[in-house]
C-alpha cells in the first residue's frame, strides 16, 4: 500500500483555444472503502487560476491552507494578483522545502496568464510530490488514475478546442479514465476557465 | 473492536459509539463513555490507540472550552472541525503522533443546520451525511447508503442506526456489546437509550 494511493483521486488539466480546463473526481476513500463522494480537491486561487491536489487527503487540506496564506502574502506585498507561472514556482518551492519529508500530493495548476500585449494565454503545469515542475502545452494528469488518463487524453485531445468542446473532451477523458480505476470516481467536477467566465459543472458518474 | 457511527437527519445529528475499553484481547471496562460533549451543540466520538484517545479528546475539549470562555460564543462545528484537523495534521508529522479517529457531530446554530465531520488520525477531514469508524464501518456504510434519509425524523434516524448496530452484532466476529447514543439538535445535547 502506497501512501499516495491511500485516499484515491485524480486530476486532469487541458489547454484549449484561449481557455483551459481542469477536472477532478470527487471520491475520498480509505484504501478500497469509500468515505465521501463530495470531496473537493480542486480549488480556485484567483479568478484566473485553479489548482488541484490529488494525493493524501490530509496534505490536500494542509497545502490548501499553506497556498492560501502564501498567495495572500504575495498579493499584499506585490499589490497585484499572482500569475499562474509564478504560482507554479511557488508550489514547486513549497514542496521542495519538504524534500526529505514530503507532502504526498501531486499538484496540477491551470490558469490564464497575461501576455505583454494585454491578452490572455492558457497555462497548465503539474509537479511531482517534491516539486519537480512539468510545463505542458497540451494536457497534464495526476492521481491514482494517471496512467489511464494519459491514454485517454492522448487519444482525445486536439489543439485549439473551443470552451464547450474542451469541456466535452476533458469530461470524457476523466470519466472514462476513472471508470477503470477503483480508487477514483464517484462523481466529477469540471472547471473551464475562459477570458470572461469560469464554467463549473458537476458530473454524475458510476458509483461502483 | 471499537466501532462508532454517526448520521445526520432533518435537524439533528446522532452519534453512537461502543462502550468497551479494551487492551489487547481483554475487555477492561464495558461502560466507557467515548463521546465527549465539546460545547453546547457539539459532540465528538473518539476511537483509536488507548491512552492517545482520552489524552487528545481532553486536550480538544479544554481548548474548545477555553475558546468559549474567552470569546463568549462557542466555536462553530465547522470551525471546530478545522481546528481539530489541524491539531491532528501537526501531530502526524511530530515525534509521536496521536492515533485517534473522530466523528464530530454538531448543530450549527447560526446556519440552523446539522453538521457531521469524519476525521481520521492523519488529519483527513470530510463533511459527510453519515459516517463510521472501525470494523463496523464496512457494514454500516452500506446500510447507510441504502437507508439514510437526510430529511428523516429522529425516530427514523434511530431506526437506521439500530439496523447498523444489529447488523454489526450479527456479522462481525469482534462486535462490541453495548453502545452509547447521543443526539445533538437545536436544543443541545441529550443521551438516548437504544
Asked if A62 and B118 come within 8 Å (Cβ–Cβ), the reply is no
pLDDT > 90? residue B1: no
Q: What is the pLDDT of residues B67-120, one digit of tens each?
A: 999 999 999 999 999 999 999 999 999 999 999 999 999 999 999 999 999 999
Interchain CB contact of A57 with B (< 8 Å): yes
| Dist. CA B59–CA A35, nearest whole Å | 26
Which tens digit of pLDDT belongs to each residue from A51-75? 999 999 999 999 999 999 999 999 9
Q: Give B174's Cβ-side CA count (13 Å radius).
A: 13
Helix axis angle, B77-92 to B52-71, nearest 10°: 140
Grid look-up 490529488 returns A54
pLDDT score for A162: 98
What SS3 state is found at B5?
A: strand
Distance from CA of A59 to the nearest CA of B (A): 8
Residue ranges in chain A modelled with pLDDT below 50: none
Please report the pLDDT score of residue A173 as a whole number.
98
Quick: pLDDT tens for B14-57.
999 999 999 989 999 999 999 999 999 999 999 999 999 999 99
- Considering only CB atoms, which chain A residues are within 8 Å of B137? 33
Tell me the pLDDT tens digit for each residue of B149-166: 999 999 999 999 999 999
Contact A54, A142 (CB under 8 A): yes
Question: What is the ipTM metric for this complex?
Answer: 0.95
Q: Which residues of A touch B98 (CB under 8 A)?
A: none
CB distance from B79 to chain A under 8 Å?
A: no
pLDDT of residue A87: 98
Which of B118, B122, B137 is the closest to A58 by Cβ?
B122
pLDDT per position as a tens digit, A185-200: 999 999 999 999 999 9
- B-chain residue closest to A27, CA distance: B126
Looking at residue B104, which CATH number applies to its domain?
Answer: 3.60.20.10
B interface mutation test: which of A1, A61, A97 has the most B CBs within 10 A?
Answer: A61
pLDDT over threshold 90, residue B194: no
The count of domains in chain B is 1
Per-residue CA distances from B147 to B85, B126, B143, B155 (Å): 29, 21, 6, 13
* Cα–Cα distance, B81 to B73 (Å, whole number): 16
**Residue in B126, B132, B138, B146 to test binding to A, most A beta-carbons within 10 Å:** B126
Q: Going from the N-terminus, what domains does chain A have, and what CATH number goes with each?
A: 3-203 (3.60.20.10)
B122 min Cα distance to partner chain A (Å)? 6
Give the range of the structural domain holding residue B86, as residue numbers without chain letter. 4-192
Nearest beta carbon to residue B137 from set A33, A58, A65: A33
> Where does chain A have alpha helices with state H?
57-78, 84-96, 146-156, 163-178
Amino acid at each position: 500500500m502506497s501512501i499516495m494511493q491511500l485516499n484515491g483521486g485524480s486530476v486532469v488539466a487541458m489547454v484549449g483555444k484561449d481557455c483551459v480546463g481542469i477536472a477532478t473526481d470527487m471520491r475520498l476513500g480509505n484504501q478500497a472503502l469509500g468515505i465521501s463522494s463530495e470531496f473537493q480537491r480542486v480549488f480556485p486561487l484567483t479568478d484566473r487560476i485553479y489548482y488541484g491536489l490529488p494525493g493524501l487527503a490530509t496534505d490536500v487540506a494542509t497545502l490548501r491552507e499553506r497556498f492560501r496564506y502564501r498567495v495572500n502574502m504575495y498579493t499584499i506585498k506585490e499589490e497585484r494578483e499572482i500569475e499562474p507561472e509564478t504560482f507554479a514556482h511557488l508550489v514547486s518551492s513549497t514542496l521542495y522545502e519538504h524534500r526529505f519529508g514530503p507532502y504526498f500530493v501531486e499538484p496540477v495548476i491551470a490558469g490564464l496568464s497575461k501576455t505583454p500585449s494585454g491578452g490572455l494565454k492558457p497555462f497548465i503545469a503539474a509537479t511531482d510530490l517534491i516539486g519537480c515542475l512539468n510545463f505542458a502545452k497540451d494536457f497534464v494528469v495526476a492521481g491514482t488514475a494517471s496512467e489511464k488518463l494519459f491514454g485517454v487524453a492522448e487519444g482525445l485531445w486536439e489543439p485549439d478546442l473551443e470552451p464547450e468542446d474542451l469541456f466535452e473532451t476533458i469530461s470524457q477523458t476523466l470519466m472514462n479514465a476513472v471508470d477503470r480505476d477503483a480508487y477514483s470516481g464517484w462523481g466529477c467536477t469540471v472547471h473551464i476557465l475562459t477570458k470572461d467566465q469560469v464554467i463549473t459543472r458537476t458530473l454524475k458518474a458510476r458509483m461502483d | 473492536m471499537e466501532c462508532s457511527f454517526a448520521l445526520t437527519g432533518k435537524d439533528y445529528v446522532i452519534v453512537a459509539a461502543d462502550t468497551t475499553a479494551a487492551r489487547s484481547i481483554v475487555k477492561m471496562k464495558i461502560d466507557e463513555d467515548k463521546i465527549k460533549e465539546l460545547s453546547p451543540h457539539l459532540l465528538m466520538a473518539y476511537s483509536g490507540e488507548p491512552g492517545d484517545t482520552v489524552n487528545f479528546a481532553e486536550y480538544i475539549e479544554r481548548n474548545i472550552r477555553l475558546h468559549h470562555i474567552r470569546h463568549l460564543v462557542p466555536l462553530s462545528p465547522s470551525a471546530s472541525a478545522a481546528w481539530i484537523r489541524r491539531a491532528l495534521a501537526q501531530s502526524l508529522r511530530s515525534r509521536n503522533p496521536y492515533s485517534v479517529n473522530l466523528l464530530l457531530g454538531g448543530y450549527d446554530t447560526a446556519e440552523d443546520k446539522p453538521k457531521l465531520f469524519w476525521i481520521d488520525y492523519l488529519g483527513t477531514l470530510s463533511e459527510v451525511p453519515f459516517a463510521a469508524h472501525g470494523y463496523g464501518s464496512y457494514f454500516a456504510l452500506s446500510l447507510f447508503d441504502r437507508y439514510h434519509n437526510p430529511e428523516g425524523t429522529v425516530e427514523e434516524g434511530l431506526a437506521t442506526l439500530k439496523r447498523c448496530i444489529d447488523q454489526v452484532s450479527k456479522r462481525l466476529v469482534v462486535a462490541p456489546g453495548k453502545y452509547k447514543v447521543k443526539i445533538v439538535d437545536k436544543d443541545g445535547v441529550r443521551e438516548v437509550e437504544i
